Amino acid sequence: MTATTDGSTGALPPRADAASETDSTTPVAAGVHEAAVRTVQRATDFLLARQDAQGWWKGDLETNVTMDAEDLLLRQFLGIRDESTTRAAALFIRGEQREDGTWATFYGGPGELSTTIEAYVALRLAGDAPDAPHMAKASEWIRTQGGIAASRVFTRIWLALFGWWKWEDLPELPPELIYFPTWVPLNIYDFGCWARQTIVPLTIVSAKRPVRPAPFPLDELHTDPAHPNPAKPLAPAASWDGAFQRLDKGLHALRKVVPRKLRRAAMRSAARWIIERQENDGCWGGIQPPAVYSVIALYLLGYDLQHPVMRAGLQSLDRFAVWREDGARMIEACQSPVWDTCLATIALVDAGVPADHPQLVKAADWMLGEQIVRPGDWSVRRPQLPPGGWAFEFHNDNYPDIDDTAEVVLALRRVRHHDPERVEKAISRGVRWNLGMQSRNGAWGAFDVDNTSPFPNRLPFCDFGEVIDPPSADVTAHVVEMLAVEGLSHDPRTRRGIEWLLTEQEPDGSWFGRWGVNYIYGTGSVVPALTTAGLPGSHPAIRRAVTWLESVQNDDGGWGEDLRSYKYVKEWSGKGASTASQTAWALMALLAAGERDSKAVERGIEWLAATQREDGSWDEPYFTGTGFPWDFSINYHLYRHVFPLTALGRYVHGEPFARKPLAEAKGNE
């Protein structure tokens, strides 16, 4: 048994509200229960041992090699690329190349053109020769897919910085956009916060059109090097795509006549907007892409690298680097300590760790200190709403998110803290903020209210990922679950959220997962929320969900879903290699629906017990998190631990709060 950081063994005493652990009388059921108890113990010890001394947990956040390639391109552009960083980044990028010479955006996924182009260029910067076998294989594949001309806009922007693509052949993004009031379509607040933070600095880059001398040509990445920038045909004028293509042509023409004084003023206003949103750690929004483009934009406006804003920005980017034992260097797109900490806290308490365990109290203290008590960009739409949310990252006060806030409240409710009044005040602020962020349709998005404009996704510039933040089933479910635990099941606002969830159920009984893969995540989020809010397990929506989950269980007893379900729904919905996190999501839904003694649950528990590693963890190379459905996928390295522990804990001890009326479920009495 592994010792925990407080010197205890992590042994799990019986929970006062635990479901009977001796109800099952068959030898098979008894054996499954005993295996679950052993698995919970090992997983608990593993997770407790990995808490930071300050009280937080954080797993690596793995995405794809565009983060690493763009980091090298940034350093090349600024003239600060060094050999040791380049060597370490190249080692990681080479290690991610597939047998066919390509790079994918997720484990086991198909080769992706833009990702492969950026990885190839980064390796050229690192000194890999174009005729080396791994490089020749990549360039040949790139040409068969249409070459650089077929890549996404963001890739061609990076190439334009070095003259490998023409700026005039890119969509125009005028900095005067910063002046659009919120009632004008395509104002910056019509974009999701991640897109907004990226677009504002890119308006400066687009206006400046900088070109640094290219260190080598890239003729081998064009289908026709003599004509690398082929003109694309316009869509019909009566179509949305055609209309926005013609708008872009008009913006290119406007560029030639816009008064220079106005343009300079717009760029200065955009720069002020950027600087005002720099976080205390030097980053922007706690995510890598806006930070990279903000540094470039300010550099183009004359901010030298020793300026405090620039120095802090570059230092923040270094903190996204994860150095591996083999000397490779991986860049995280983001870091997830608040999310990981609240999920770990929930998992440990549901697994039977005492609510006043010193490590849980330390985690609660850290989460309490992370509550955001000042307005951010969300207040543009909700100016009268007092702050009180939590962000995803270490530092991101401008963009707290609704999902984290709901889960932090659920985590704090599970901990018996020595200062209950402080906890109550924090929870009250968080609940009030979440309620105030409800969209008109009764549901919740991740960061903003009613961020549903249809226009941003139509822009030629926005050809990659989601650029708006509409309400989603998984976020709404987490908020509804939190509100139910707070005794607000019958509040009209909660009921509207429940009604929205019921209308969003797919015909097959599942729910779409916006921030996790995919229908298993959505269903695993919604069913526990609905039952916590008072819907019985016999409700038709719950029964349909149970039937669907049972129908997609793998032969080995686990559940899995490939990211291709976002693109090819019918073929891939609920289908994929079994993973620990997705098996846990399915089990959490089935347990919430009252299916503890079902064969499906028994087989799922057996799979988790059988696949646990000796150290108490699980192996999960598959990506089960989502940034942008299909386009940008995430492997949260802590998901493989916290969610199985949560599911196993609920199997052993029963559903949290389930044995008390909702009005009495608050607190830890």
Q: Using H for helix, E for strand and C for coil, what is the string for 42-71?
A: HHHHHHHCCCCCCCCCCCCEECCCHHHHHH
- Under the banding of pLDDT at 50, 70 and 90, the label for residue 248 is confident
**pLDDT over 90 for what percent of the chain?**
84
Last residue of one domain, picked from the residues 331, 356, 390: 331
Q: Is residue 184 located within the same domain as residue 46?
A: no
Distance of CA 562 to the CA centre of its chain: 16
Q: Which pLDDT score is estimated for 240?
A: 75
Q: Is pLDDT at 485 greater than 90 in this prediction?
A: yes
Total structural domains within the chain: 2
pLDDT at 615 over 80: yes
Confidence of residue 658 (pLDDT cuts 50, 70, 90): low
Please give the single-letter amino acid code of residue 157: I
Residues 563 and 541 in one domain: yes
Better-scored residue on pLDDT, 519 or 26? 519
| pLDDT tens digits, 309-340 | 999 999 999 999 999 999 999 999 999 999 99
| C-alpha to C-alpha distance for 616 and 28, rounded to whole angstroms | 23
273's tokens? 């907007």
Q: Dig out the tokens for 541 from the structure.
A: 């929506």
CA distances from 615 to 47, 618, 620 (A): 10, 9, 14
Is 396 contained in some domain?
Answer: no
Give domain status of residue 633, yes or no.
Answer: yes
Which of 331, 363, 394 terminates a domain? The answer is 331
**What is the tens place of the pLDDT at every residue in 257-301?**
899 999 999 999 999 999 999 999 999 999 988 999 999 999 999
CATH number at residue 517: 1.50.10.20
The highest-confidence range among 3-17, 278-292, 649-663, by mean pLDDT, is 278-292
pLDDT at 4 over 80: no
Same domain, 37 and 146: no
Q: What would the pLDDT profile of 573-598 be if each residue is shown by its tens digit?
A: 999 999 999 999 999 999 999 999 99
Evaluate whether residue 94 is within a structural domain: yes
pLDDT of residue 27 exceeding 70, the answer is: no
Give the C-alpha distances (Å, rounded to integers) separating 443 from 436, 475, 498: 11, 8, 8
pLDDT at position 93 is 98
Contacts of 261 (CB under 8 A, 6+ apart): none
Residues 212 and 259 in one domain: yes
Q: From residue 553, how far is each of 45, 120, 131, 425, 566 by CA, in Å?
A: 29, 39, 46, 43, 19
33 and 170 fall within a common domain? no
Question: How buried is residue 453: exposed, middle or buried, by Cβ count under 10 Å (0-12/13-18/19+)?
Answer: middle
**Do 32 and 93 reside in the same domain of the chain?**
no
* Mean per-residue pLDDT, 195-206: 95
**Active-site position among 350, 377, 397, 403:** 403
The mean pLDDT value for 549-562 works out to 98
* Band of pLDDT at residue 26, cut at 50, 70 and 90: low
Residue 6 has pLDDT above 60, yes or no: no
Do 423 and 409 touch, CB atoms closer than 8 A?
Answer: no
Q: How confident is the model at residue 490 (pLDDT cuts 50, 70, 90)?
A: very high
The helix/strand/coil state of 489 is coil
- The answer to whether position 588 is within a domain reads yes
Active site includes 403? yes
The confidence band for 195, taking pLDDT boundaries of 50, 70 and 90, is very high
Convert the pLDDT of each residue in 82-105 to its tens digit. 999 999 999 999 999 999 999 999
In a domain, 416, yes or no: no
Mean pLDDT score, 413-434:
97
Same domain, 45 and 121: no
- Grade residue 483 by pLDDT with cuts at 50, 70 and 90: very high
Which of the four pLDDT bands, split at 50, 70 and 90, describes residue 236?
Answer: confident
Same domain, 41 and 78: no
Asked whether residue 351 is domain-assigned, the answer is: no
Q: Which domain holds residue 207?
A: 62-224+240-331
- Mean pLDDT over the full length of the chain: 92
Examine the pLDDT at 25 and tell me if it is beyond 50. no
Indicate whether 631 and 573 sit together in one domain.
yes
Q: Are residues 211 and 146 in the same domain?
A: yes
Please tell me whether residues 76 and 162 are part of one structural domain.
yes
Domain annotation covers residue 122: yes
Give the pair of three-digit tokens for residue 245. Answer: 């293509």
State if pTM tops 0.75: yes
Q: Which of 331, 359, 392 is where one domain is finished?
A: 331
| Residue bearing the bigger pLDDT, 17 or 103 | 103
User: Does the structure show a pLDDT above 70 at 359?
Assistant: yes
Residue 9 scores a pLDDT above 60: no
pLDDT at 467: 92
Decide if pLDDT at 17 tops 50: no
Q: Which pLDDT score, from 0 to 100, does residue 28 have? A: 61
Q: What is the structure's pLDDT at 233? A: 77
Residues 169 and 292 in one domain: yes
Which pLDDT does position 486 carry in this prediction? Answer: 97
> Where residue 661 falls among pLDDT bands split at 50, 70, 90?
very low
> Of 661, 638, 598, which is closest to residue 346 (Cα–Cα)?
638
In a domain, residue 437? The reply is no
